[in-house]
């Protein structure tokens, strides 16, 4: 029996590349046919356009050319495009890309894997494509929605920073891989749940609930980190105060406070260790998005000289849960920011990617065992 000229005993790298390219092209055409894709694209342009409407010079700040009555807000306070960097980071990345755009992407890709499990796989499996590679390629094509959307956002934001802010910041393009990675954490969970339940609605709900769980773990870790850092600074400040006192009577009350604070410090350390351990095992969406701030060198600690002068006088009138009469709130905030800045990228992205790989391995195992 003669074999066709196109028959392959084993697929070559060229064959695999052609198959993968065809799957990506099919995924792009599928996205292109969805109205939600174009709605999200238009919203990207709208968000960046709103940021572009804001202007700042040595006189003050304006919106669509109309001056706003905000004394002191000028290029002296926000030099080298710092204002537009802050807005892009907090509004564009922190609110739009990290929340609304991600939800739109989850909704748009929700039917991909349920369709694969309810009949859409027949045509694909009739081709010489292994199930494992088919699932992973389908997953990669699902990331196209976020990749294309964020690329448009990054390009427009780059133009805004250059034209309106006077800073041609190529670091803004790091938002593309970071936000694709950010979305892939949630998309992996949605894909596997959709494959198992065959329900787009269930896959979206579980992915959103998992996202809420991640946020709660992050909030708990941050709260206990504040408590642990507060106790450390409080003990150090009280001990420093004790050294300045002359009489034992005056010192005795502070010594008792130190002992009480040390007991609290042990509890805070234990609570933070528990939350931090759980956080290490799950994706870190907040920290992944925050890596954009590092790339743009964005700092929210912009204040006036008047604020610095009032800092010491208002140290005893602090707001919030963690209050101290021995050190000011700014010192606590600086200590927390230093702690967060020392968390390496490999921990943020590497451990999150490890969780994603485990989820995808489960999905591949389930997909290969299914009968179609």
Starting from the edge strand earliest in sequence, which strands make up the sheet with 66-67, in order? 54-56, 61-63, 66-67
Average pLDDT of the segment spanning 276-298? 87
Of 115, 317, 87, the closest CA to residue 203 belongs to 115
Which pair of tokens denotes residue 267? 């509890």
pLDDT at 199: 92
Q: Which range is least confidently modeled, 4-18, 105-119, 199-213, 214-228? A: 4-18
Of 267 and 313, more confident:
267
Residue 1 lies in a domain: no
How many domains, the chain? 1
Within a domain: 285: yes
Residue 348 in any domain: the answer is yes
When mean pLDDT is compared across 274-278, 280-284, 335-339, the lowest value belongs to 335-339
- Answer whether residue 4 is part of any domain: no
Going by C-alpha positions, the residue among 158, 129, 155 that lies closest to residue 141 is 129
**What percent of the chain has a predicted confidence (pLDDT) above 70?**
86
Is residue 50 classed exposed, middle or buried when 0-12, 13-18 and 19+ CB atoms within 10 A define those classes? middle
Mean pLDDT of the chain: 82
8 A C-beta contact, residue 149 and residue 101: yes
Residue 309 included in any domain: no
Q: Does residue 308 fall inside a structural domain?
A: no
Rounded Cα distance between 52 and 161, Å, is 8
Where do the H-state alpha helices sit in 6-130? 13-32, 35-52, 82-87, 101-108, 112-115, 121-125
User: Average pLDDT, stretch 222-249?
Assistant: 85
Please indicate, yes or no, if residue 291 is contained in any of the structural domains: yes
Q: Are 175 and 154 contacting, i.e. CB atoms less than 8 angstroms apart?
A: yes
Please state the pTM of the whole predicted model: 0.83
pLDDT band with cut points at 50, 70 and 90 for residue 247: confident
| Entry field: residues in the chain | 372
Rounded Cα distance between 159 and 170, Å, is 10
- The residues pairing with 55 across neighbouring beta strands, listed in sequence order, are 62
Bridge-based pairing state of the strands 61-63 and 66-67:
antiparallel
Query: Per the domain annotation, does 307 fall within a domain?
Result: no
* Residue span of the structural domain in which 107 resides: 13-302+317-369
Residues 204-223 have a mean pLDDT of 96
Per-residue pLDDT band at 363 (split at 50, 70, 90): very high
């Amino acid at each position: 029996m003669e074999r066709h000229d196109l028959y392959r005993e084993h697929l070559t790298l060229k064959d695999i590349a052609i198959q993968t390219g065809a799957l990506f092209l099919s995924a792009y055409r599928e996205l292109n046919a969805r109205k939600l894709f174009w709605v999200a694209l238009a919203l990207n342009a709208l968000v960046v356009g709103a940021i572009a409407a804001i202007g700042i010079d040595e006189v003050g700040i304006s919106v669509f050319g109309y001056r706003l009555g905000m004394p002191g807000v000028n290029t002296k306070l926000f030099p080298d495009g710092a204002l537009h960097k802050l807005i892009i980071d907090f509004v564009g990345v922190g609110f739009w890309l990290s929340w609304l755009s991600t939800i739109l992407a989850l909704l748009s890709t929700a039917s991909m894997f349920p369709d694969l499990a309810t009949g859409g796989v027949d045509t694909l499996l009739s081709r010489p494509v292994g199930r494992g590679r088919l699932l992973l390629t389908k997953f990669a094509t699902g990331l196209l929605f976020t990749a294309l959307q964020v690329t448009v956002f990054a390009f427009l934001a780059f133009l805004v920073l250059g034209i309106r802010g006077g800073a041609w910041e190529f670091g803004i393009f790091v938002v593309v891989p970071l936000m694709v990675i950010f979305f892939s954490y949630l998309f992996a969970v949605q894909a596997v749940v959709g494959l198992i339940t065959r329900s787009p609605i269930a896959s979206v709900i579980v992915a959103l609930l998992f996202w809420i769980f991640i946020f709660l773990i992050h909030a708990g870790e941050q709260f206990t980190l504040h408590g642990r850092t507060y106790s450390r600074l409080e003990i150090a400040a009280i001990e420093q105060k004790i050294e300045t006192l002359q009489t034992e009577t005056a010192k005795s009350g502070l010594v008792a406070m130190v002992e009480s604070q040390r007991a609290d410090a042990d509890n805070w350390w234990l609570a933070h260790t528990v939350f931090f351990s759980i956080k290490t095992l799950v994706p870190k969406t907040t920290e992944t998005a925050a890596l954009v701030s590092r790339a743009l060198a964005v700092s929210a600690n912009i204040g006036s000289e008047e604020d610095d002068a009032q800092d010491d006088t208002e140290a005893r009138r602090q707001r919030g849960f963690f209050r101290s009469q021995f050190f000011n709130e700014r010192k606590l905030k600086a200590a927390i920011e230093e702690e967060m800045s020392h968390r390496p990228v490999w921990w943020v992205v590497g451990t999150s990617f490890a969780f994603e790989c485990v989820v995808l391995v489960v999905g591949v195992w389930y997909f290969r065992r299914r009968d179609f």
